[in-house]
Amino acid sequence: MVLQALAFYVFAAVAVAAGIMVVTARNPVHSVLFLILAFFNAAGLFVLMGAEFLAMILIIVYVGAVAVLFLFVVMMLDIDFVELRQGFVKYLPVGGLIGIVLLVELFVVVGGWVSLPATKSAIAEPVREGVSNTAALGRLLYTKYVYLFQAAGLILFVAMIGAIVLTLRHREGVKRQKIAQQLKRTRAESVQLVKVKPGEGV
């Protein structure tokens, strides 16, 4: 029990410190690296809570894909970060107000959970004995929330198509594959017989 409490405080402290460094770091590459560190510590907290599936998803999806993608984008794009930081003071009051609202919401949720033990009965699905975390999550997603799960997937699919359409650029002078013309071509259009004389190239 003491070891679990010690691990919780270590993971939580490092996660909070890494989150603060994500916001305050001057170098965006360092911010992404601190973000990866925060993800790893959050995964450790999930493991302590018995949610090993969520911990693996957090590492595989967010660290392995999203955070690394952010890192490559930041390193490859020539972004003028001095110009971006000029509007920091301008939007500071709005950002501070949003941060205060989120902090109040967190206090309300955590305070209600601690001070009112009856709120634990409001869990959507009680945890069954002898069922792993992955199996319980799969049963819940594909039975009670199957329509919402499919709707979320459809929204993400539409968002992906929209991002591709918005970023697709047609440049002049670039050869593109036209499958319909390739399928309609005849043998005379695609094959050409050339008689090469001895000692000469094509």
Q: Is residue 171 part of a domain?
A: no
12 in a domain, yes or no? no
Is residue 95 in some structural domain? Answer: no
Per-residue pLDDT tens digits for 13-54: 999 999 999 888 877 778 888 888 998 999 999 888 888 888
Provide the domain limits for residue 147.
Answer: 126-165
Please report whether residue 136 resides in a domain: yes
Please give the model's pTM, rounded to 2 decimal places.
0.58
**Residue 156 resides in a domain:** yes
Residue-wise pLDDT tens digits, 135-188: 878 888 888 889 998 999 999 999 999 888 887 777 777 777 888 888 888 888
Count of the separate structural domains present in the chain = 1
Residue 187 lies inside a defined structural domain of this protein: no
Query: Would residue 86 count as lying in a domain?
Result: no
**The amino acid at 48:** L
Is residue 154 situated within a structural domain?
A: yes
